[in-house]
Amino acid sequence: MQLGNVGTAMVTPFSPDGTIDYAQTTSLLEHLIANGTDSVIVSGTTGESPTLTVTEKKELLDFVVKVVNKRIPVIAGTGTNNTAESIELTKAAERSGADGIMLVTPYYNKPDQKGMYAHFSKIANVTTLPVLLYNIPSRSIVNLLPETVIALSKIDNIIAIKEASGNLEQMAEIIEGTADDFEVYSGDDGLTLPLLAIGGRGIISVSAHIVGNEMQEMIQAFQNGNIKEAAELHRSLLPVFRALFSMPNPVPVKYALEKAGVPTGGVRLPLVAMDENEAAIIDEALEKFEKRTRIL
């Protein structure tokens, strides 16, 4: 499984009645593939996984795998705070033809490091699929510490981590303590370039729905040694990143997709749509970015 430079944590399109809109899912996937996405993550946080039923997750994944048709890797978000349910979803991902799975740190029940090691290792040991760990303490409360990640990286099919702790020192410790082929991805769009600078691989992004090509350009500039160009692109993108996280994810990015001509519908409760003042923040950031991009 090669996630590439930019993996997109895909939103889940919904119809006006709240069901999954498969026609718009097709349009979204074509948009992402054409605009800088190297791999796609289905039913993650941005896909509103807490409000998707197990059946919906399985059916959505089956559909995405068929539409993508091996053009880019499809990663299934199969992690939950229930190990048995995570195994059920992981086995369904195998049957669907997914290229890998993403396992988030268990939320709400607050396991310790031993519990998280047991949880992740048990799931990894029942599948042949590559595993992307996902550490996001702001949502799950628990922080998957570097020593636990390093221990888990010794399991053959645990090959990468999406690190959304916001702690570059923690990320550096993981990079230093794992084998060269274990990859660390940022889970925060704004830390993409700083993570690359300490040896990280890339980004699992929300903003790539809107600025995927620009994020690819930034990463490729860095990889080619054009540090000044990469830094300029990074600075130009930061206001977009901030705007797209100015409200609970994925409310802002779904609004931005609508403006970009890629409608994905609303969000499910308990999330709600933005009001006019909140939407104006997104509008202003995108307009300023477009103007600055033309200058650059």
Return the bridge partners of 202, or none: 185
User: Residue 254: CB partners within 8 Å, gap ≥ 6?
Assistant: 11, 264, 265, 266, 267
Query: Strand pairing of 202-205 and 74-77?
Result: unpaired
Q: For the residues 84-98, what does the mean pLDDT come to?
A: 98
- pLDDT at residue 261 in the model: 97
Whether the pLDDT of residue 293 is over 80: the answer is no
Question: Which residue in this structure is represented by tokens 């993996």?
Answer: 7
Q: How confident is the model at residue 294 (pLDDT cuts 50, 70, 90)?
A: low
pLDDT tens profile 101-131: 999 999 999 999 999 999 999 999 999 999 9
What is the rounded CA–CA span in Å between residue 74 and residue 40? 5
Q: Please report the pLDDT score of residue 291 as a whole number.
A: 81
- What is the Rg, in whole angstroms, of the alpha carbon atoms belonging to the chain? 18
CATH number assigned to the domain covering 6-226: 3.20.20.70
Q: How confident is the model over 25-50, as pLDDT tens digits?
A: 999 999 999 999 999 999 999 999 99
Judged against a pLDDT cut of 60, whether residue 62 lies above it is answered with yes
Give catalytic residues, as residue numbers.
134, 162
Q: Report pLDDT digits (tens) over 168-227.
A: 999 999 999 999 999 999 999 999 999 999 999 999 999 999 999 999 999 999 999 999
CB-side neighbour CA atoms (13 Å) of 244: 24
List, for residues 220-278, the tens digit of each pLDDT value: 999 999 999 999 999 999 999 999 999 999 999 999 999 999 999 999 999 999 999 99
pLDDT > 80? residue 292: no
Give the model's pLDDT for residue 296: 52
pLDDT of amino acid 1: 80
pLDDT at 295 over 60: no
Q: Calculate mean pLDDT across residues 52-58.
A: 98
Q: Could you tell me which residues come within 8 angstroms of residue 83 by beta carbon, excluding any fewer than 6 positions away?
A: 106, 119, 122, 123
Give the pLDDT confidence of 133-154 residue by residue, as tens digits: 999 999 999 999 999 999 999 9
Instruction: Report d(CA 16, CA 169) in Å as an integer.
Output: 44
Residue 29 CB partners (closer than 8 Å, separation 6+): 10, 40, 64, 67, 68
